[in-house]
Structure 1
């Protein structure tokens, strides 16, 4: 007898068995993510599927369905949506298995796996028509809102820092600099969370891409830096550059970028700082607001990226010094 642990899980089972007439012989948690969504792995007639549970008062399934269709048309591998119940917030999806890129990455596999991931990313960027895809834009306001997550949740709440007027000015100027860098880049379709936990490792048509519902039109380097300077695993600068150069050459050949590699690398670095500041803020919020402290362990690696990259850019000298002198000691006390 298959049983469910809570009311929404019971409602999922009822939907699968009563409405869809499936014979469910397995029902178990597959994963949860940093949102209010949960995932269950179910079995019907020896076939596995994933059920997404997205409570309608907290999550909207419509963007997921829309972006899944857009990405499938762009010929990248996203899970088929077999059935959906938007009213209750349930989706029955193709199962890509439980092995993500992070599970498979090591010094031997890194080159081949990142090549697959960057090829998929290039396919997405090359095949989505940003004029007609009806995705929201990564506006300066959205970039600023994301950067403020670092100020509000990490500096103020996680680290308990009280900023001086001079420090606040340094932060504001640095945020403006990062936003201006992002908006002058070539614009493409952006997955927005393209990293090793959202890319499933498959034997064919690798990788399987998940968690794409927040896609936007935005800076060309955004997804590449999410992947290569991943919050969950780090690589040497030499390894990153050896992956980045062939990807840049693909973009250049397809006329998706017009700049040279030095400019692209600068854009990539600065975009990474914006993303990593946002991620640190989100990890802090997950701990403080949502009671998910496990993400705190990823902050030191992510903060390390920001410190290491910011020292190469004179425009961020003061911000770099603030991070080293004030933020790093405070983070060590509170993490």
Structure 2
């Protein structure tokens, strides 16, 4: 038995009081966490060398107090990186979505955003320094490690100017608590199998920060793992804007400005995500996310085309992506 498997099993037996308890592996995820089921709970192997266990426990409590359904922590060993949390089942929202019901499900998810944005937590700000760290992932891991590209001075300047534009956009928006990974794989469907009969639970929330309130909405609607029609995205954007406005979280911003903010916010997120997908492959040996890179960059190209007139740097960046980067991605393919 793997050392950490044995460590978790012995801890679970002690916590549960069942000396014969057996754990069944549920899954791993994009991090180094692994999940097991037993005695009515989910047992988490979350190595403290890589995982934010203190933040997870703190945020779980705050989300629950804010009226959101989230895993409740029943026991934790911070030193060893072991947790026991309530079991929310196996049904991720992504498995329920189709072209006929996606709007109803998304409306249900959007209804969570005012409560999420208003959660009372002292969190790090999604500020210029934070975004600079995120922005470095795209050139280092996708352009460098994955595509083996060396950028010219003009290309480096184009990248710097593009990220400067996106950073200014994110800082100029109404701010609040943001999940940072609010999408259909991190929402669990509980208690039913339809939008009318179920409750959505939030998971994977240890990375929450204070940042632009459009971030989680665009993360949901422009999902890295599934793409819906422009009509679905537009309807969701309008519904999200109305929902956040009614909660008095958006001040006096109009829909046109909000949509533009959200699109650029999504672009910053999607560039980071493509770098993370490459890093998961080349650093962590997880190649399954490579297939999501073209879809995710497709959102970026769309934003550059849609808003290039107002932001000429985005127009130049979009042309560069289509001319240089997308063909290189096609050449290397989706295998490790």
Question: How high is the TM-score relative to the length of structure 2?
Answer: 0.93
Aligned pairs for 1:168-317 within 5 A: 168-203=156-191, 206-257=199-250, 258-314=252-308, 315=311, 316-317=314-315
Segments of 5+ residues of structure 2 without an aligned counterpart are: 193-197
Cα offset for 1:163?
A: 1.2
Q: Which ranges in structure 1 are unaligned for 5 or more consecutive residues?
A: none
Secondary structure of the equivalent of 2:94?
helix
Residue 160 (structure 1) aligned with residue 151 (structure 2): no
| Cα drift, residue 253 of structure 1 | 2.0
**Residues 120-175 of structure 1: per-residue CA shift (max 9 Å, x gap):** 122221x324xxx2111101111121111111100111111121111111111011
- Deviations along 1:217-270, one digit per CA (max 9) or x if unpaired, are 000111111110000000111111112212211211222112100001001100
Does the 8 Å CA contact 1:82/1:92 hold for their aligned counterparts? Answer: yes
Deviation at 1:25, TM superposition (A): 4.9
SS in 2 for 1:317: helix
Paired residues for 1:39-58 under 5 Å: 39-42=35-38, 44=39, 48-58=40-50
C-alpha distance in structure 2 between counterparts of 1:192 and 1:14, whole Å: 34
For 2:318, the equivalent position in structure 1 comes to 320
Q: CA RMSD in A?
A: 1.4
Query: Quick check: 1:15 aligned with 2:11?
Result: yes
1:122–1:247 CA contact under 8 A, matched in 2: no
1:128 maps to which residue? Answer: 119
In 2, Cα distance between equivalents of 1:111 and 1:58: 36
Show structure 1 runs of 4+ deviating over 4 A.
23-26
| Cα distance between partner residues in 2 of 1:26 and 1:299 | 38
- Which of 82, 89, 95 is the matching residue for 1:90? 82
* Match 1:118 to one of 106, 110, 119: 110
Counterparts of 1:101 and 1:217 in 2: how far apart (Å)?
Answer: 25
Q: Which residue of 2 aligns with 1:78?
A: 70
User: Could you say which residue in structure 2 is the equivalent of 1:330?
Assistant: 328
Match of 2:135 in 1: 147
Do the aligned residues in 1 keep the contact of 2:46 with 2:82 (CA within 8 Å)?
yes
Query: Residue 111 of structure 2: SS of its match in structure 1?
Result: helix
Aligned-pair distance for 1:24? 5.5
- 2:195 aligned partner: none
CA contact (8 A) 1:60 1:89 kept: no
Superposed displacement of residue 57, structure 1? 2.3
> How big is the shift at 1:210?
0.4
Q: Secondary structure at the match of 2:190?
A: coil
Q: Give the number of equivalent residue pairs.
A: 323
1:64-102 Cα offsets, whole Å, 9 max, x none, are 000011111111110111111112111111111111011
SS at match of 2:112: helix
In 2, Cα distance between equivalents of 1:108 and 1:274 = 30
Closer, same or farther in 2 for the Cα pair 1:245/1:23, shift >3 Å? farther
Aligned with 2:316: secondary structure? helix
